[in-house]
């Protein structure tokens, strides 16, 4: 069963490939099919953004496509940065490190702990426009200092109290079992299994 991963984010690609590592699934990228596609993520929800990407890539490639949209939601900031996590910094072209520092600036002076959770919605789309969704969450806290060299995005300041580590300190094989993206993809597996059984 050939599945297109509708993303160019290197961190996401590594995680998705690890989580969906199964002999039944042959994962390909847009680059493997020699095309590129920019999709404007102007949806009002994670599901809308994930669907926009998955549907566009499924139609372009003729394959079942998987896409996700995710974000960090901080209680003290009323759920921000949330849907805008990847574009949270006011300066265009800001790096992950810039966004982390901007988040911490906005949290400065607010009472800790800074409760937060990562959310991910995965969309699976067929070339005919059918869409299926799955979701996952990972609770934790934001801490004021960066720790760890793994992961990407907000991982170095996302603390997992039950593990005593940030997401960026976890070995990748552990992160790919407990992260919001892992949980969403694990929730999507029964859908993929069903589609595989139907001959996709």
Could you tell me the CATH number of the domain that includes residue 34? 3.90.950.10
- Whole-structure pTM value: 0.91
**Domain count within the chain:** 1
| Rounded Cα distance, 71 and 84, in Å | 7
Q: Given this model, what pLDDT does residue 185 score?
A: 93
Q: Are 52 and 15 in contact (CB under 8 A)?
A: no
Task: Kindly tell me the burial class for residue 144, based on how many C-beta atoms sit within 10 Å of its own C-beta (0-12, 13-18, 19 or more).
Answer: exposed
- Which positions ≥6 away from 185 have C-beta within 8 Å? 16, 19, 20, 66, 68, 122, 134, 136
Q: What is the DSSP letter of 81?
A: B
User: Which backbone phi and psi does 45 adopt, to 5 degrees?
Assistant: -140, 165
CA distances from 113 to 141, 150, 162 (A): 7, 23, 14
Question: pLDDT digits over 85-124, tens only?
Answer: 999 999 989 999 999 999 999 999 999 999 999 999 999 9
As a whole number, the mean pLDDT across the chain is 93
Which residue among the candidates 22, 23, 42, 69 is catalytic per the annotation?
A: 69
**Average confidence (pLDDT) over 171-200:** 91
Helix (H, G, I), strand (E, B) or coil at 46: helix
Question: pLDDT digits over 126-172, tens only?
Answer: 999 999 999 999 999 999 999 999 888 999 999 999 999 999 999 98
Q: Given this model, what pLDDT does residue 100 score?
A: 97
**Catalytic-residue membership of 23:** no
**Average confidence (pLDDT) over 67-96:** 95
| Rounded Cα distance, 61 and 195, in Å | 17
CA 144 to chain centre: 23
**Average confidence (pLDDT) over 181-186:** 93
Domain span at 139: 2-197
CA 135 to chain centre: 10
Q: Are 5 and 62 in contact (CB under 8 A)?
A: no
């Amino acid at each position: 069963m050939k599945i297109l991963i509708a993303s160019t984010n290197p961190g996401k690609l590594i995680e998705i490939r690890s989580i969906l590592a199964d002999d039944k699934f042959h994962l390909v990228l847009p680059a493997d099919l020699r095309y590129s596609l920019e999709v404007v993520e102007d949806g009002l929800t994670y599901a809308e953004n994930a669907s926009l990407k998955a549907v566009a890539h499924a139609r372009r490639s003729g394959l079942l496509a998987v896409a996700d949209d995710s974000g960090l939601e901080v209680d003290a900031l009323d759920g921000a940065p949330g849907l805008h996590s990847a574009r949270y910094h006011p300066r265009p072209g800001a790096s992950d490190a810039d966004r982390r520092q901007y988040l911490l600036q906005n949290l400065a002076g607010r009472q800790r702990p800074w409760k937060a959770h990562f959310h991910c919605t995965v969309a699976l789309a067929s070339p005919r426009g059918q869409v299926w969704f799955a979701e996952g969450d990972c609770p934790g806290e934001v801490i004021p200092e960066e720790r760890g060299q793994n992961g990407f995005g907000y991982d170095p300041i996302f603390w997992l109290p039950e593990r005593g580590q940030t997401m960026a300190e976890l070995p990748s094989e552990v992160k790919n079992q407990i992260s919001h993206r892992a949980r969403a993809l694990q929730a999507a597996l029964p859908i993929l299994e069903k589609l595989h059984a139907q001959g996709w």
